[in-house]
């Protein structure tokens, strides 16, 4: 916004055409305010766009790193299961087929427990309390 000096203001007040000059000043102030608002809005939108691009790049990098990490952890898990099967076979506790089946069963039980956990947590993805509160207000 334009800031005027006190001399300029005093001159305008003492002049004979007070009303048209005030009106022109008001329009000029509104125009300057509008330009400032447009510039500020543009800056905010540009900042949001740049941050969204950076967030997208970060998300893509995190997903790629997560996929690589998952592959590495699968390799580690397979190695641990192989070592456990070999240890069972070597201790003559069970035969080779039974040891492999035992490890497969243990993995299946672990997967079922995780499936149950995911199912229980998935109901919160739909914002149940928010939906309930919106329905209650709409029905009232």
132 pLDDT higher than 70: yes
Domain ranges of the chain: 1-66
Distance separating alpha carbons of residues 107 and 105, to the nearest angstrom? 5
Return mean pLDDT, the chain: 86
3-47 pLDDT, tens digit each: 555 555 544 555 444 455 677 788 999 999 999 999 999 999 999
What does the block give as tokens for 32? 């300057």
Q: pTM above 0.85?
A: no
Residue written as token pair 């506790």: 93
């Amino acid at each position: 916004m334009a800031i005027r000096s006190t001399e300029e203001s005093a001159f305008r007040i003492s002049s004979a055409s007070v009303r048209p000059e005030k009106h022109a000043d008001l329009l000029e102030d509104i125009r300057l305010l509008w330009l400032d608002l447009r510039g500020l809005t543009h800056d905010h939108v540009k900042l949001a766009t740049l941050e969204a691009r950076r967030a997208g790049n970060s998300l893509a990098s995190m997903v790629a790193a997560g996929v690589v990490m998952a592959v590495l952890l699968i390799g580690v898990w397979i190695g641990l299961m192989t070592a456990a099967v070999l240890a069972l076979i070597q201790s003559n506790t069970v035969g080779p087929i039974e040891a492999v089946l035992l490890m497969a069963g243990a993995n299946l039980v672990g997967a079922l427990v995780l499936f149950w956990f995911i199912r229980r947590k998935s109901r919160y993805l739909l914002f149940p309390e928010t939906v309930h509160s919106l329905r209650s207000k709409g029905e009232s």
